[in-house]
Amino acid sequence: MKELSVTNQAVVCAYEKGYRVVNGNVISPFSDRTRALRLHIDKSYPRYRFSIGVDGRGRYSIDVHKLLAYQKYGEKMFKEGVQVRNLDNDSLNNSEDNIVLGTMSDNMMDRPKEVRQRLSVGASTHIRKFTDREMEEIRALRKKGNSYAALMKRFGISSTGTLYYILNTDYQTKV
């Protein structure tokens, strides 16, 4: 196994110090076992976090779902290609039955179909050369009798395969 990142080292340190996730809450080893720590939500990607001091090297933020995964699976969570998953796609749900390990593909497939479609269309839209409107115009001009050569020249299309694709698929940016 490769050397752990600082973030993962902090997770291990928190576990070794006695921090535990119980019913989605983090219990500190330095207080009575009934009081949960105050968690904060990371704004860049909604998830619960808390921070601890690590061996005099400063404070580190720890993701609650990662501490829970380490608590459940130990070193397995650090294997190459393994990710911590929220089965219900709710990144704030840190219940024990919602946190599992899997691959990036598993993690993506946890998302609802509509969300996956929206994300894939959004990603492909950034690399597309033509808008929906331009593709409709190309199709309309072809139906009016414009040749492949004329359409390719007018729209700067360098491949007949690209033009064929535009003319013969109903690909749109709207799902």
Tell me which residue range forms the domain holding 154.
Answer: 128-168
- The pLDDT score that the predictor gives to residue 57 is 73
- The pLDDT score that the predictor gives to residue 126 is 67
- The pLDDT score that the predictor gives to residue 34 is 63
Instruction: Label residue 55 left, alpha or beta by phi (over 0 means left) and psi (-120 to 50 means alpha).
Output: left
- The pLDDT score that the predictor gives to residue 65 is 95
Q: How many domains is the chain built from?
A: 2
Q: Give kind and range of the element (H or E) at residue 73.
A: helix 64-73
Give the predicted TM-score (pTM) of the model.
0.68
- The pLDDT score that the predictor gives to residue 26 is 93
What parts of the chain have a pLDDT lower than 70? 1-2, 32-34, 124-127, 171-175
* 112 inside domain: no
* 175 inside domain: no
* 92 inside domain: no
φ, ψ of residue 55 in degrees (nearest 5): 45, 45
DSSP bridge pairs for 100: 85
Instruction: Please tell me the distance from the alpha carbon of residue 131 to that of residue 45, in angstroms, as a whole number.
Output: 30
